[in-house]
Amino acid sequence: MLLWVLLLILGLLSRQAAIAKKSVVEPRPSWTPIFEGELVTLTCHGAGPFKPERAWWYKNQQLQEILPTNIIQTNQPGEYRCQTQGSTLSDPVNLVFSSDPLILQTQYSVFEGDTLVMRCRGKNTGTVKHMAYYKNERKLLDLITDFDKLLSVSQAGLNDNSKYHCARVVSSIWSTWREISKNVDIQVQELFVPPELKTTMSEPIEGTPMILSCETQLSPQRLDTKLHFSFIRDGTVITSGEKKSHVLQIPAIQTKDSGSYQCEAKAMTQNILKKSNYVKIGVKIPVSQPFFNFSAFRAQASVGDVVEFHCEVLRGSFPIQYQFYHENTILENKIAPSGGAASFNLTMTVGHSGNYFCRANNSFSYQFSKNLTLSISDPIRSQTNTAIMGITVALIIIFILTIVVLVVYFKLLRKSGRSSAPSPHRISSISNLQEPVYSNSSSQKELMPIYGNVNPVAENVVYSEVTSKEHGKEANNTKKLPEIKDSPVIYAEVKQKPQSRDSKKTNAADGRQNVAENYENAKLF
């Protein structure tokens, strides 16, 4: 049991080590191609703790040998791989042998930033008179002496990927001839892929955190390359110095952080710089609480008035939608594509009293305004109301007056009922009331009542009339209470209702007569 666990752990450990490191095949000479018949020494480099390492050799995907050493020699073309204890299978090394008289040799692999080296080698002996290197058929280097000189391109880049060849003029005792190598297709390998700028969101909401990451991948053969990163917004580097981390964190993004972003990855030793795509970041602003008002003076309006409602936010990304509410019912819906306000007009009806507010939202946030109360008055109804109220008040006053008068009357009646004969004091008190108004109508000979008590005690019964006579003249007392000073005769009499009506009629008739008389008098003048 314990053994099993141990084996399992060992297995896991070895697998982890395997993930960590690949074996590498190193050929010597380090040039390719080479002439047929030449020997190549291959060394298998691993990461295992055992030296010299035991190695498994593969040729064209087939296991060839298991050797107690990590070095083999071969003159056979093919694709060679190896694996040591503790490392994974290596990438292949393709051994190419050439039978050509002239070959252009180069490294097995060239990465960006490396120095690309080419060597022109001939099999034939003789005196080299002239040598030249060509790139895409165009002469790159012309040599008249120093024919061992190599063609080297420092800081190789992907634009150095081309077809190269070389040519030379050789002479012997008998002849002079020209040799041309085959074209070699040079592929400079990418050290790391161009970075890609990624963001958690392209439209972050103001105040939220945002992460920008500059993602790239180093070539598996060059995993130990040191990369540094920088972040650029609108053409300006925003990271202080060069970062070893490919991540930029903005804890709370602000409006000023909006812009066009790009990142750069740089291999420090090789001095290779690669730029990413552009990413547009627009910081979105949540709507602020809207201001809400209406064009009603003192929050009052009448039926038929047009009230303008206005809702406005000071901050918020567009477009902004505005909704006007009356008691939780939407009255109006407006979208402001740009500009932070909306308004609308409404003609008031009786039902429009109550709470009003507005709501503003954009695609990711909303806010309600404060409530405002609007009261609607109905002019017609209020007129009727005042009329009804006036009438009611008048009726109440009349009623109270009636009661007062009745009370007074009954008091008087009771007093007069107790003493059968009218008290002289009482009479004098009445007579002292007012100066009498004298009628100058000659036709009126009858005594007229001074004070007509118009409040009958009971229907169809009787009411009193107080009549005064002074200086032999008849007083016209229907309107004014007479103020009687020492009136010689004051008496009260009880008359029946119909009679009083008749007397009133006569009065009216007399008045008319008076007017007629006056008219005649005026004519005489």
Nearer to ligand NAG, 330 or 397 (CB): 330
Nearer to ligand NAG, 234 or 308 (CB): 308
Q: Is 441 in the site for ligand NAG (CB under 6 A)?
A: yes
Q: Is 328 in the site for ligand NAG (CB under 6 A)?
A: yes
Sign of the Cα pseudo-torsion (57, 60, 63, 65, in order): negative
Q: Which two tokens stand for residue 192?
A: 């790391």
Q: Is 343 in the site for ligand NAG (CB under 6 A)?
A: yes
Q: Report 466-495 residues binding ligand NAG (CB under 6 A).
A: 476, 478-479
Q: What are phi and psi of 99, to 5 degrees?
A: -100, 0
Cβ proximity of 186 and 110 under 8 Å: yes
Task: Say which residues have a Cβ less than 8 Å from residue 170's Cβ, sequence separation at least 6.
Answer: 122, 124, 126, 127, 128, 129, 176, 177, 178, 179
Q: Which of 115, 152, 245, 355 binds ligand NAG (CB under 6 A)?
A: 355
Beta-carbon-side half-sphere exposure of residue 118 (alpha carbons within 13 Å): 27
- Is the bond preceding residue 52 a cis peptide, omega within 30 degrees? yes
Size of the site for ligand NAG (CB under 6 A): 35
Tell the smallest beta-carbon distance from residue 494 to ligand NAG (Å): 20
Which residue of the chain is nearest ligand NAG when measured via CB? 511
Q: Which of 83, 230, 444, 467 binds ligand NAG (CB under 6 A)?
A: 444
Nearer to ligand NAG, 16 or 440 (CB): 440
Q: Is 361 in the site for ligand NAG (CB under 6 A)?
A: yes
x/- mask, ligand NAG, residues 389-428, rule CB under 6 A, reads ----------------------------------------
Q: Is 517 in the site for ligand NAG (CB under 6 A)?
A: yes
H helices of 79-198, where?
none
Tell the smallest beta-carbon distance from residue 511 to ligand NAG (Å): 3
Q: How far apart are CA 285 and CA 205, in angstroms?
A: 6
The SS3 assignment for 487 reads coil
Q: What is the dihedral of CA 66, 71, 73, 79, to 10 degrees?
A: 70
Sign of the Cα pseudo-torsion (30, 36, 39, 44, in order): positive
Q: What are phi and psi of 402, to 5 degrees?
A: -55, -45
Nearer to ligand NAG, 82 or 311 (CB): 311
The SS3 assignment for 498 reads helix
- Is the bond preceding residue 319 a cis peptide, omega within 30 degrees? yes
Chain position carrying tokens 């005594």: 447
Q: Is 294 in the site for ligand NAG (CB under 6 A)?
A: yes
Tell the smallest beta-carbon distance from residue 407 to ligand NAG (Å): 30
Q: Which of 271, 440, 472, 486 binds ligand NAG (CB under 6 A)?
A: 440
Nearer to ligand NAG, 184 or 320 (CB): 320
Q: Is 324 in the site for ligand NAG (CB under 6 A)?
A: no
Positions that interact with ligand NAG (CB under 6 A): 293-295, 306, 308, 310, 319, 321, 327-328, 335, 343-345, 355, 357, 361-363, 371, 439-441, 444, 448, 476, 478-479, 507, 510-511, 514, 517-518, 521
